[in-house]
Amino acid sequence: NFSFRDDTKETGRTSLAFSADYRASDHDPLVIGLNLAPLQAQSISFPALANVVIGAADFDAGASTSSGLAVSYSASPASVCTVSGSAVHLVNGGTCTITASQAGDATYSAATSVSRSFTVLFGQTITFNAIPAQTLGTSSVTLQATSSAGLALSYSSSTPAVCAVSGSALTLVSAGTCTITASQSGNSSYAAATSVTQSFTVNPSATNTGGADDGSADTPIGPFWLLVQGLGLLGGASWFKRRRAA
């Protein structure tokens, strides 16, 4: 009569217990051989998980063990993310924590669990309407793009010889094509938005359009010039009188 107990999984140690009811007079000698090799250690490799925008497709958690045994996963909180097998599913914005575990088997002891956290970000978009043509000399233009997240935008000019930007104020520098880009880099809750670019024409300032340029358009008119012209007329009349008298 022989019984055998292996409590390795319960205690985490290689421990064997047995009992036997044996009558040597009735049987051959009893020989019992035991292999008491300790369980091998194993570890979990679990790379960091990058932040993800809500709405992204499910992805593989990506952990592995040094033993080659399958990894099991759990996710928390369920209001932000869930896991099925090794596939992580995004539910809502927030911080998601995935824990990788391996319970061991008859050869390997249980591995130390490893957890990785990442942020599930909300997306955002930029609305930047077309800018109409401007005339050089116009006072600075206020740029008015908006973000669906309500976050402040930044602007940049890729044509600084034509237009310059400071904050949301656009200054016209010369005639040509002005190109402005609106950006929003995101924050702890929102992912960076896709930048939006608008281009428009800066026309030259208004000039004389009354025909050939005879210089009259540039002649200042005022009391001084009226006086000069009056004196000229008086001088001409005096000369005409002297000619008649002669």
Please tell me the predicted confidence (pLDDT) of residue 219.
43
Of the candidates 97, 124, 105, 30, the one whose C-alpha atom is nearest the C-alpha of residue 65 is 105
Contact, 185 vs 156, CB < 8 A? no
pTM of the entire structure? Answer: 0.65
> By the 8 A CB rule, do 180 and 195 touch?
no
Residue type at 116 in one-letter notation: R
Residue 31 neighbours by CB under 8 Å, 6+ apart: none
| pLDDT score, position 36 | 63
Question: What is the radius of gyration, based on Cα positions, of the chain?
Answer: 44
Exposure pattern of 125-152 as b/e (b: 16+ CB <10 Å)?
ebebeebeebebeeeebebebbbebebe
Spans in the chain with pLDDT lower than 50: 14, 208-221, 224-226, 228, 239-240
Q: Which 3 state secondary structure label does DSSP give 213? A: coil
Structure tokens at 13: 């140690």
Determine the Cα–Cα distance for residues 51 and 166; give it in Å rounded to an integer. Answer: 32
Compute the distance between CA of residue 147 and CA of residue 205 in angstroms, rounded to an integer: 34
What is the model's pLDDT at position 24? 57
150 φ, ψ (degrees, to nearest 5): 80, 15
Dig out the tokens for 233 from the structure: 């007329």
The predicted pLDDT at position 35 comes to 56
Whole-Å CA distances, 24 to 2, 4, 30, 31: 14, 20, 8, 11
